[in-house]
Amino acid sequence: MSIHDSRAQTKQTPGFGHLAKAGMSTLPNRRPVHELIADSLRLTIMAGHHLPGERLNQEELASFYGVSRMPVREALLKLQGEELVVSIPHKGFAVAELSVEEVEDIFSIRIMLEGLATRLAIPNMTAQRLARIAENLQRQQEYGENIDARLELNREFHGTIYEAAKRPRLVALVTNLRNIVEAYSRIYTSAEGRASATLSEHRRIFEACRQGQAELGEKLAQEHLRNIVDILVPKLKSSTAADFRANEPKEQERFAYAEADSSL
Domains in the chain: boundaries? 6-97, 100-242
Q: Does residue 46 surpass a pLDDT of 90?
A: no
Asked if 55 and 93 count as a contact pair (C-beta separation under 8 A), the reply is yes
Identify which has the larger pLDDT, 22 or 205: 205
166-183 pLDDT per residue, tens: 999 999 999 999 999 988
Q: Any idea which architecture 6-97 has in CATH? A: Orthogonal Bundle (1.10)
Residue 239: pLDDT band by 50, 70, 90 thresholds?
Answer: low
Residue 47: pLDDT band by 50, 70, 90 thresholds?
Answer: confident
Residue 90: pLDDT band by 50, 70, 90 thresholds?
Answer: confident
Q: Does residue 1 surpass a pLDDT of 90?
A: no
pLDDT of residue 2: 40
Question: Nearest-CA neighbor of 208 among 227, 226, 221, 223?
Answer: 221
Residue 249: pLDDT band by 50, 70, 90 thresholds?
Answer: low
**Count of alpha carbons within 13 angstroms of residue 142, beta-carbon side:** 10
Residue 191: pLDDT band by 50, 70, 90 thresholds?
Answer: low
53-79 pLDDT per residue, tens: 999 999 999 999 999 999 999 999 999
Q: Which of 5-9, 157-161, 187-191 has the lowest mean pLDDT?
A: 5-9
Average pLDDT over residues 152-158: 94
pLDDT of residue 171: 97
CATH 3.40.50.720 fits 100-242, yes or no: no
Average pLDDT over residues 154-172: 97
Q: Does residue 221 surpass a pLDDT of 60?
A: yes
Average pLDDT over residues 196-213: 96
Average pLDDT over residues 140-160: 88
Question: Nearest-CA neighbor of 97 among 195, 239, 208, 227?
Answer: 239
Burial of 118-138, coded b for 16+ CB within 10 Å and e otherwise, reads bbbbbeebeeebbebbeebbe
Please enumerate in sequence order all residues whose Cβ is within 8 A of that of 3, keeping only pairs 6 or more positions apart, or say none.
52, 97, 98, 99, 100, 236, 239
Q: Does residue 25 surpass a pLDDT of 60?
A: no
Q: Does residue 4 surpass a pLDDT of 70?
A: no
pLDDT of residue 240: 56
106-148 pLDDT per residue, tens: 999 999 999 999 999 999 999 999 999 999 999 999 987 788 8
The mean predicted confidence, pLDDT, of the chain is 82
